Amino acid sequence: MRLRPDKLGVPMGALLAVSLALPMASLRANRIAAAEPQGLFAALPSAWAAGLLALAALAVAVALFARDPRLRLALPVAMLLALFVAIGEAGRTLAAEAGDYARVAPGAGFWIGAFALSILFTDAIIRLDLSPLGRLGVLAASSLALALILMTGQWDALSILAEYRGRAAAFWREGGHHLQLAFGSLAAALVAGVPLGILIHRVRWLREPVLNGLSLMQTIPSIALFGILIVPLGWAAANVPGAAELGVKGIGMAPAFVALFIYSLLPMVANTTAGLTAVPEGVREAAAGMGLTRRQQLISVELPLALPVVLTGVRIVLVQNIGLATIAALIGGGGFGTFVFQGLGQTATDLILLGALPTVALAFVSAVFLDAVIDLLPAAAR
């Protein structure tokens, strides 16, 4: 039998090989100075660099030729862990030589290598065909590994964590705001969107106008929507009794919350209606014919059967909101976006990453988690 290289293994193996030739880390004399790229052997003690090269060679070989998905999983995981530990080591090595104000950040080589390995990692998980609980287990293990690396201080010499140390309190506070915005607007969209979806499913002539109206709102750019909301919310704060006490203001968290809510409505309403429409006609007819009341038909037959599609809507909304909540910082709404915009203002890449990386991680974890939950529903309901 001829050895045929794996389809995904070729580009990802090539990417991984290239990444080793690219700068592993970058060194700056201070926080906003120009970056000097540092190659693998410059950034790391030779033993480390050689070890990493050897492991990478093995990982490329496995990516190209291995068939066993367990092997395809094990090598990228080992290499990712090695890369994560090594970048911390590089931070310590370079910082020790360059002095107190120097900043060490992961370079293009690290990011591209980590990217290629993550793709190989997820690909191996798909090939393993894990159960939903198995996927949740992998998610938990990965999160735990990341937490361990952070807690043991392995990355403390890296510039992102230097940014974090100066703002630890703000980081967690804004993280809290971010979650409040994303999950709060999701909850509001569920409470309003599911009944609206049921309504337009029942009242057919309402369907087109409502869905078109919600689509239209989806097309308003978020910045414009913030601007539009300043006027009514400002008016409400000034004139509606109790509104100001609830935190309603023209700027800040309130308009951000309302904007996210408006963007969430279309996926919630459309998916609820789509889920209900997909209930087979025979099932609907049988439910009525058996003598279920209208309410019983909805609660015990139609909604349970629509649930997977409704949850898919929840997943879309949550991932979308976690990303969009970043923009809230523009109008003083808080969230991880605060660091992104501060970083943009100061041309401090590390600060931008301090806001961006947790946002991406949150969105990713939510997506994997909800996908697993949807797959955990009884097979018959899917």
Partner 1 sequence: MIGIESLTKEYGGKAVVKDVSMRIETGTITVIVGTSGSGKSTFLRMINRLVEPTAGSVEIDGTDTRRMKAYELRRRIGYVIQDHGLFPHWTVARNVATVPRLLGWGREEIEARVHELLALLQLDPDEIAPRYPHQLSGGQAQRVGVARALAARPDMLLMDEPFGALDPVIRAKAQQDLKEIQERLGSTILLVTHDMSEAIKLGERIAVMSEGRVEQLAPPGEILTRPASAIVESLVGEEDRPFRYLSLLPIAPLVEPGSAEGPAIGAERSLRDALAEMIWSGREALPVVDASGRERGRVTRAALIAAGRPPR
Residues near partner 1 (CB under 8 A): 280, 282-283, 285-293, 296, 301, 304-305, 378-381
Q: Give the shortest CB-293-to-partner 1 separation in angstroms.
A: 5
Closer by beta carbon to partner 1, 221 or else 291 = 291
Q: How far, in Å, CA of 357 to CA of 349, rounded?
A: 12
The 8-class DSSP code of residue 301 comes to I
Name the residue among 208, 315, 221, 200 with its Cα closest to residue 267: 315
Closer by beta carbon to partner 1, 218 or else 293 = 293
Closer by beta carbon to partner 1, 180 or else 296 = 296
Q: What is the separation, in whole angstroms, between the first and last Cα of the chain?
A: 41
Q: Give the shortest CB-188-to-partner 1 separation in angstroms.
A: 28
Q: Give the shortest CB-291-to-partner 1 separation in angstroms.
A: 4
Closer by beta carbon to partner 1, 203 or else 283 = 283
Spatial contact of 54 and 46, defined as CB atoms under 8 Å apart: no
DSSP β-bridge partners for residue 36: 27
Q: How far, in Å, CA of 301 to CA of 291, rounded?
A: 12
Closer by beta carbon to partner 1, 181 or else 301 = 301
332 conformational bin, left if phi > 0, alpha if psi -120 to 50, beta if neither: left
Q: Give the shortest CB-298-to-partner 1 separation in angstroms.
A: 13
Q: How far, in Å, CA of 286 to CA of 221, rounded?
A: 45
Q: How far, in Å, CA of 74 to CA of 128, rounded?
A: 12
